[in-house]
Amino acid sequence: MQDLAGKHLVLGLTGGIACYKSAELCRLFVKAGATVQVVMTEAAEQFITPVTMQALSGRTVYTSQWDTREPNNMPHINLSREADAIVLAPCSADFIARLVQGRSDDLLSLMCLARPMDRIPLLIAPAMNREMWAHPATQRNLMQVSADGATVLGVGSGWQACGETGDGRMLEPAQLLEDITAFFQPKLLAGQKVLVTAGPTFEALDPIRGITNHSSGKMGFAIARAAREAGAEVTLVAGPVHLPTPRGVTRVDVLSAQDMFEATTRAAQGASIFVATAAVADWRPATHSDQKIKKDGSGKTPVLDFVENADILLTVAKSERAQAKKLFCVGFAAESENLVEHAKAKRERKGIPLLVGNIGPLTFGQDDNALLLVDAQGVRELPRASKLTLARELMTEIAARLPDWSV
Ligand SMILES: Cc1cc2nc3c(=O)[nH]c(=O)nc-3n(C[C@H](O)[C@H](O)[C@H](O)COP(=O)(O)O)c2cc1C
């Protein structure tokens, strides 16, 4: 999926061990459809060669303001004017200090100072030893560069090249790609608090076995990511799935439908949008054995009895908050046939403004899907696309309905 298609990025490297990760970052940018112009400080060249960065970006690398390749001899002007953003990764403590002071004694700092601030965002991925990171001078400088309009992408925590462990590692290339892709998405849901449920539930029979379903959680995780990209504060209540948490999303892991009910109804009290994508078990075994249910050799099979689980979507949709129109509820229906009729009926039964239908066997575990949006006005299809693309479209559809909706 080419999330950065049409974007032109200046990737600035400064002197730090994390320069080795910039090679991968450059590759990911290119893979995501961006064109990349690499600019390096003299110190960065001590850590990785321009040859590597040229080969990966497919463009010659700039390292000096005295580079005569540009007809007007002003690479700091020409290169920045073409960019959709300047990304500094890694950004050294020294370089942050130079940005704060408005220094411009090398090409990269000169380019940052000379960039039109209203048009060309500056994104910073710091990387340094944990003591350098924690130092008041660095923290003060970071606050100042943010106040001056730069976006600081944060740091990771863990083992550092110096042998110490702590905060200050550069974020991983895949994390930076996710953050930078999010940066370019329109902030349609800024100020909203979005609650998403995702994945299957697991209804235990005994300590070994249980009843679950084929939901992979991919659609719900894509929705959580898209909501975050759109500027919302996002809580994701996830059933048992092995998917990475989208960047910036608060995740609550649950197992059974009852756990999911409790976590979701609690989080719904502060939410403004609720998207119920989880495939919640309708029933759970009436009894739970503390020990494994064993064969006794008689050929007799166990008789399973079930009780109905609480309806999470219905409970949230009937809550005071939803009824007072402070909580916009979106349901998902995974059907195996007659999608339109089932989706329409489910929307009415739950009393919600928007119901999204999909065909279960065509979506479970897949990376793409097709959705059917059913609201009071009628039915609209979002044709087959990646789940993230559909999730972003769904966020646009929700944002458009927020000012005025009916059940
Ligand atoms: C082996 C080595 C590793 C370094 N790693 C870092 C680092 O990760 N982060 C950092 O801020 N500075 C680091 N430094 C110090 C910077 O390279 C130094 O401050 C340099 O002047 C930065 O120049 P620049 O900001 O122009 O790229 C390191 C220095 C050495 C010798």
Residue-wise pLDDT tens digits, 4-43: 999 999 999 999 999 999 999 999 999 999 999 999 999 9
Which residue's alpha carbon is at the smallest distance from atom 17 of ligand 1?
A: 15
Same-domain check for residues 219 and 278: yes
DSSP state of 210: E
* 346 vs 331: CA distance, rounded Å: 8
pLDDT over threshold 90, residue 1: no
pLDDT band at 98 (very low <50, low <70, confident <90, very high): very high
Same-domain check for residues 158 and 266: no
What is the identity of the amino acid at 351?
Answer: G
Same-domain check for residues 235 and 160: no
Give residue ranges with CB within 6 A of ligand 1: 14-18, 41, 43-44, 92-95, 127-128, 132
Residues in the chain: 407
Give the distance (Å) from ligand 1 centre to CA of residue 133. 12
Output the pLDDT for position 9: 98
Same-domain check for residues 197 and 266: yes
Output the pLDDT for position 286: 95
pLDDT over threshold 80, residue 234: yes
Same-domain check for residues 177 and 207: no
Output the pLDDT for position 103: 97
Q: What is the domain-level CATH number for residue 100?
A: 3.40.50.1950
Same-domain check for residues 102 and 245: no
**322 belongs to a structural domain:** yes
Same-domain check for residues 115 and 136: yes
Which residue's alpha carbon is at the smallest distance from atom 4 of ligand 1?
A: 16
pLDDT band at 292 (very low <50, low <70, confident <90, very high): very high
**163 belongs to a structural domain:** yes
* pTM of structure: 0.92
pLDDT tens-place string over residues 149-196: 999 999 999 888 888 888 999 999 999 999 999 999 999 999 999 999
DSSP state of 295: P
Give the distance (Å) from ligand 1 centre to CA of residue 15. 4
Element (H, E) at 273: strand 273-276
**294 belongs to a structural domain:** no
For the chain, what is the mean pLDDT? 95
**357 belongs to a structural domain:** yes
Give the distance (Å) from ligand 1 centre to CA of residue 77. 26
**407 belongs to a structural domain:** no
Give the count of domains, the chain: 2
**204 belongs to a structural domain:** yes
* 121 vs 98: CA distance, rounded Å: 17
Same-domain check for residues 264 and 227: yes
> To test ligand 1's pocket by mutation, which of 13, 14, 41, 101 has the most ligand atoms within 8 angstroms of CB?
14
Q: What is the domain-level CATH number for residue 386?
A: 3.40.50.10300
Of the candidates 139, 164, 184, which is a domain's last residue? 184
In the residue annotation, 26 being an active-site residue is answered as: no
Of the candidates 184, 206, 231, which is a domain's last residue? 184
Same-domain check for residues 249 and 176: no
pLDDT over threshold 80, residue 364: no
CA distance readout (Å), 169 to 16, 136, 155, 176 = 10, 17, 6, 12
Which residue's alpha carbon is at the smallest distance from atom 16 of ligand 1?
A: 15
Of the candidates 137, 156, 184, which is a domain's last residue? 184
Which residue's alpha carbon is at the smallest distance from atom 22 of ligand 1?
A: 15
CA distance readout (Å), 160 to 15, 94, 167, 263 = 15, 18, 9, 36
pLDDT tens-place string over residues 302-316: 899 999 999 999 999
**1 belongs to a structural domain:** no
Among the atoms of ligand 1, which is closest to the Cα of residue 46?
17
pLDDT over threshold 90, residue 77: no
Same-domain check for residues 209 and 279: yes
Which residue's alpha carbon is at the smallest distance from atom 5 of ligand 1?
A: 16
* 331 vs 341: CA distance, rounded Å: 15
pLDDT tens-place string over residues 370-386: 999 999 999 999 999 99
pLDDT band at 339 (very low <50, low <70, confident <90, very high): confident
Give the distance (Å) from ligand 1 centre to CA of residue 129. 10
- Give φ, ψ of 246 to 5 degrees: -60, 145
Check if the beta carbon of residue 123 is closer than 8 Å to that of residue 45.
Answer: no
Give the distance (Å) from ligand 1 centre to CA of residue 142. 17
Structural domain boundaries, residue 151? 8-184
